[in-house]
Structure 1
Amino acid sequence: MKFGRTFKEALAGKDYPQHWVESAIPYRQLKKILGSVREELIRKGYDPDTIHKLLEAHEAEYHLVDHDSLLLRPTLVVRPAPTAPSISPASLAKLLAAAKPFSPPASHHGHASDQDDDETAPATPDSTHDDQWVMVPLDSDATFFSTLQTDVGKLDSLQSQERKSMNDGIGALGSEIAEVTRPKEHRITFAKSDLYRWREIFEIYLSAEIFFSTSEVAGGSRTSESARMKLVWFQDEVNKRNLPQKFKLAPSSASYKRFMELNLTLLQNFQFQELNKTAITKIIKKFDKQTSLGVKATFPQALKSASFIADNIAKSICAQLSSEVLAIVPQVMDHTCTICSDFRYLPIRLSCDHLFCIRCAYLLQQANKRLCPLCRAPTVHELTVDNIDKAVMHYLERWFPKEVKVKQAYNELMERKDQLGPNAGGATPCLIM
């Protein structure tokens, strides 16, 4: 199936808002203009094979230059020397008939320099020499790139509006979730909080890595289809654990619904951006194939100010979602001891500023270890109970009451075993009886 038809069906089949569809890249219109570009080039003696040979021999250059009006101004310049490869005298005369004088670039291996607007006498085959360049006036390619640039501008504007709308939604959602998860009066009141339900939801969400992967094997951005499948898995996993049904506060249910709607909106924006980026890539590739002018590498640079092309909307929105929503509910993984990989309570801070749980710090001292396990600074031997970070300890008591209770019981058990032996906390029968 040709891409033009695929593109049209994708726009119609994804339930995109009508104003999105109207802002999409006009792929079919650009294909028609591209036909005119090719015809004009051939009419002026620049068939694709000739252009390819001139570019290879550095006897021609094609540039997309930013004009004062911020519109791209495509420029074809040639150096039609009589020795140019595969160019007959008759073809050379035809090329020069449609050309205008042009100041020579600083280097014919680099990019074109600024144009000299001074008028000089028209170039002829007899007067042409190695340093003489002429500009070939073309109309159709200017129409092609102005149409494409205008529509990329529309997509830029649309994306800015969508980003603002999602950013506003993220801010409001963050405030709502903070209200239903924040500890009250320095300690959690379980009857008035959904802290642990939201913590589990966000833990699943982070592990799903819906829009981005942080693993070495599949690091970086996902495709929109991969993101869709990950989002489906996340929703299925949350429902499998019945987490929405376990909410104690009515606002939590409404907030979870908005959280899912926000992710679906982001996915739809991501799909629309990916689809239009593909359309741009395809039409530029087709432009190069039919003209041999080679703009695939220069077009993204010429439109580097276009955020629709340069940016990934999922990346920027996910960054805000992480800082304004996910960060509201601290995760256990952010407060684990790097030695035992367990919850870090009571947290003891070395003078090198690294934190460990008090049990691991005690074992380091018992083993006569002097060096910090992370930075190798000789700080372990000087530790006392005064090194417990009370601010972090109180924070953990507020936000992780269940984990604190479990770790306290564990520390007490291990302390009894240290004092009375390995069976101190077990149910071993009395040997005397």
Structure 2
Amino acid sequence: MHFSKTYSQLLLTLSPELRDNAIEYRRLKKLINETVVELHSLGFTPAVLQQLLEQGGHGIPASTCEDTAAPKDRPTVTYEISSLQPRLRITLGHGTQLSNDTISPLAAQEPLPNTQGSLSSENAEYTVNIQDIVLPLRSDTAFLCLLASELSSLSDHFATIYNEFTQKLIVLATSISSTARPVSSSAPHSFSAYLLSANNVTSVRPGSCGKSDLYFWREVFQQYVQAEIFEGIGEAERGERSIDEAERRLVLFHGRVTEKARSLRIPTSEEALDMFFKINAFILDVKKVRAFDLQPRKLHVRSLKKHTKRTALPIPAYLLCEPGDTPPSEVVLSTQPLMPLQRLLVQAIGEKLLPVVPYIDDYSCLICTSIAFKPVRLDCGHLFCVRCLVKLQKQGKPNCPLCRAPTVLKADRNNVDYALLNFMSDWFPTESRAKLRANELEAAKEELEELGFPGATGCVIM
């Protein structure tokens, strides 16, 4: 199936926003065909023109020149593009004689600008007394101008898409923030701050989360990161996903989350979840655009290569420069960002949406790897849970496990990070209660062992 037909069919599957701003590939092909017709009218078929441009540094074939002609007397053909106005410049040496097949189309032309001298014929040969013939290529000019305009318009549209997408993320983040509320706002009577001045850290009892979908959204975002829908980050399958794989993973993620959505407590969470699904479906659409070579950079190169293939006119290298290279200021045919659009959108989700709900992994003790509730911050700045620090002190280990600074034995109740303690109690009430319970059981077991009851975990009747 030809690319043009595939391109048209794909556009029908995209959203109207992307479809209406797509590059008019068929119109570009039509202008390429008109350029071929224009070159034919000047006597330049693709085969002949390719010979003229390739032979001896863009010179014409030697068979059409006198065998005794010096290199400086040989005519040359150059394809020039200045400010998106392509033209053929034919430079002829004084007195050069050309055959009828080579120059008759030029002799039939009306006088052109930048032409000096005249053409005269004798016995089907032309004695050339001119220096330059400049042939403007009007259809080729229209092709490059349309391509530049389409690429600029599409790149601007992609920039608009990104800006609008980030604004939607901000709105979605605000909506999720109002439903994924911490204990202090959802159940204010069950939360109390712990202060060094109040000396109440020993009576820490995190409250339960009230009417909030905090744990639902935390699980949704955790599953979203683990699903790696659009790009793999593991060693085994690192890299961008194919369209089919990304779509399959998105469907699986949608199914898992939909099942858990029945436990939602706040109605606005359903609207936020629906918006979250839609923005990921939109990213999949953008990924389809890129995968089928419809991004500005891809269509730019494809259109110019087709232009060269049909017309034999060599496109200058700077028009095919890679993203990041700096083309000449007078010609700019690609303004696509270095990173593909769909990767920018996925990155925006990670920067603006996912951090709305704190992750427990960011607040884990580096020794026991569970939540560092009752966190103790050593003088070196590293943080551990109180039980792990007590164990280090009982074992007489003075050095920090991370930086080896002698700060462990110096730590006391003044090293408790009360701000972080309140934060964990507020955002991780379930995990904090579980860790507190585990700490209490472990402390009780150690006390029993010190009293001579090894292995005892409950009450002992004497």
Q: Shorter-chain TM-score category?
A: 0.7 to 0.9
Aligned to 1:330: 358
Displacement of 1:395: 0.3
Aligned to 1:269: 286
Sort the Cα spacing of 1:395 and 1:40 in 2 relative to 1 into closer, same or farther, 3 A: same
Q: Deviations over 1:51-99 (max 9, x none)?
A: 4566799x9987766x4xxxx45577899999xxxxx9769x86xx79x
CA RMSD of aligned residues (A): 4.3
Structure 1 counterpart of 2:366, one-letter code: T
Q: How many Å separate the matches in 2 of 1:326 and 1:227?
A: 19
Structure 1 counterpart of 2:314, one-letter code: L
- For the residue of structure 1 that corresponds to 2:229, the secondary structure is coil
- For the residue of structure 2 that corresponds to 1:192, the secondary structure is coil
- The answer as to 2:378 corresponding to 1:359 is no
CA contact (8 A) 1:55 1:61 kept: no
Structure 1 counterpart of 2:355, one-letter code: A
CA contact (8 A) 1:33 1:143 kept: yes
Q: Deviations over 1:383-421 (max 9, x none)?
A: 333222111111000000000011111112222333333
CA contact (8 A) 2:286 2:341 kept: yes
- TM-score, length of structure 2 as denominator length: 0.70
Q: How many Å separate the matches in 2 of 1:81 and 1:342?
A: 85
Q: Deviations over 1:350-398 (max 9, x none)?
A: 3332222233333444445444443444443433332221111110000
CA contact (8 A) 2:231 2:239 kept: yes
Aligned to 1:198: 217
Aligned to 2:247: 228
CA contact (8 A) 1:350 1:387 kept: yes
Aligned to 2:231: 212
CA contact (8 A) 1:52 1:293 kept: no
Sort the Cα spacing of 1:412 and 1:299 in 2 relative to 1 into closer, same or farther, 3 A: closer
CA contact (8 A) 2:165 2:345 kept: yes
Structure 1 counterpart of 2:362, one-letter code: D
For structure 2, the 5+ residue unaligned runs are: 60-75, 108-113, 118-126, 192-206
| Pairing 1:143-222 to 2, within 5 Å after superposition | 143-183=142-182, 184=185, 185=188, 187=191, 190-222=209-241
Aligned to 1:10: 10
Q: Deviations over 1:7-48 (max 9, x none)?
A: 111112x1521x543321222222232234455567448633
| Pairing 1:10-409 to 2, within 5 Å after superposition | 10-12=10-12, 14-17=13-16, 20-38=18-36, 43-44=43-44, 47-48=49-50, 51=53, 67=83, 72-73=84-85, 137-183=136-182, 184=185, 185=188, 187=191, 190-239=209-258, 242-275=259-292, 276-277=294-295, 278-290=298-310, 291=312, 293-294=314-315, 295=317, 297-298=320-321, 300=323, 301=325, 302=327, 308=336, 310-409=338-437
Sort the Cα spacing of 1:7 and 1:426 in 2 relative to 1 into closer, same or farther, 3 A: same
Aligned to 1:115: none
Structure 2 counterpart of 1:180, one-letter code: T
Aligned to 1:116: none
For structure 1, the 5+ residue unaligned runs are: 83-87, 99-118
Q: How many Å separate the matches in 2 of 1:41 and 1:389?
A: 79
Displacement of 1:333: 1.7
Q: How many Å separate the matches in 2 of 1:230 and 1:55?
A: 54
CA contact (8 A) 2:148 2:333 kept: no
CA contact (8 A) 2:287 2:342 kept: yes
Q: How many Å separate the matches in 2 of 1:41 and 1:365?
A: 88
Q: How many Å separate the matches in 1 of 2:135 and 2:278?
A: 53
Structure 2 counterpart of 1:390, one-letter code: Y
Q: Deviations over 1:120-141 (max 9, x none)?
A: 979x99999xxxx998744333
- TM-score, length of structure 1 as denominator length: 0.74
Sort the Cα spacing of 1:298 and 1:410 in 2 relative to 1 into closer, same or farther, 3 A: same
Sort the Cα spacing of 1:50 and 1:401 in 2 relative to 1 into closer, same or farther, 3 A: farther
Structure 2 counterpart of 1:31, one-letter code: K
CA contact (8 A) 2:151 2:335 kept: no
CA contact (8 A) 1:191 1:248 kept: no
Structure 2 counterpart of 1:159, one-letter code: F
Structure 2 counterpart of 1:156, one-letter code: S
CA contact (8 A) 1:73 1:142 kept: yes
Say how many residue pairs are matched. 393
Sort the Cα spacing of 1:152 and 1:382 in 2 relative to 1 into closer, same or farther, 3 A: same
Aligned to 1:106: none
Displacement of 1:250: 1.2
Displacement of 1:194: 0.8
Aligned to 2:111: none
Q: How many Å separate the matches in 1 of 2:240 and 2:90?
A: 41
CA contact (8 A) 2:14 2:285 kept: no
Structure 1 counterpart of 2:3, one-letter code: F
CA contact (8 A) 1:417 1:425 kept: yes
| Structure of higher CA gyration radius | 2
Sort the Cα spacing of 1:34 and 1:372 in 2 relative to 1 into closer, same or farther, 3 A: farther
CA contact (8 A) 2:364 2:370 kept: yes
Q: Deviations over 1:107-166 (max 9, x none)?
A: xxxxxxxxxxxx8979x99999xxxx9987443332222111211233234334433433
